[in-house]
Amino acid sequence: MKCAVQGRSYSVFGYKGKQVRDNIHSFDLVNALWHFFEAPRVAEVYNIGGSRHSHCSMQEAIHLCEELAGRELEYAYEDSNRIGDHVWWISDVRKFQEHYPGWSYRYDLRSILEEIRGVLME
């Protein structure tokens, strides 16, 4: 989003930009931590991220950033991927949601990017 708003070039590494990542807003993450703090469960391990609620490929992110910024994003594509990079990652938060049913997402991908755009435009 920053590169799209500021007209800077962005680099995409490997997988033809089809690598998928989930995205979580800091509010949603801290809210999850708060729920855990309020009712800790001993020796539990959770996966926290945007899950299927807020995920996209690099190509999808580029298109959404362009739409929200109102301009085309200049980007370069490097055929080789970053060492250790995953092609696809979406967090499974079902266990956390089962243990903490009062927690839910407030922000989806579009609202996360809209907020970033707003901050950058100030």
Cα R_g (the chain), whole angstroms = 17
The predicted pLDDT at position 122 comes to 86
- CATH label of the domain that carries residue 40: 3.90.25.10
The predicted pLDDT at position 39 comes to 98
What residues contact residue 6 under an 8 Å CB cut-off, 6+ apart?
Answer: 120
**Helices marked H in the chain — which ranges?**
2-6, 26-38, 58-69, 94-99, 109-121
- Other Cβ atoms within 10 Å of 66 Cβ, number: 15
pLDDT tens, position by position, 54-89: 999 999 999 999 999 999 999 999 999 999 888 999
Residue 31, pLDDT > 90, answer yes
> In the numeric block, which tokens belong to residue 88?
């696809």
What residues contact residue 72 under an 8 Å CB cut-off, 6+ apart?
Answer: 66
Question: Half-sphere exposure of 61 toward its Cβ, with a 13 Å CA cutoff?
Answer: 24
Residue 96, pLDDT > 90, answer yes
Looking at the 3D structure of the chain, how many domains does it have? Answer: 1
Output the average pLDDT for the chain. 96
Q: Cα 38 to the chain's mean position, in Å?
A: 26
Query: Domain containing 94: what range?
Result: 2-121
Q: pLDDT tier at 93 (50, 70, 90 boundaries)?
A: very high
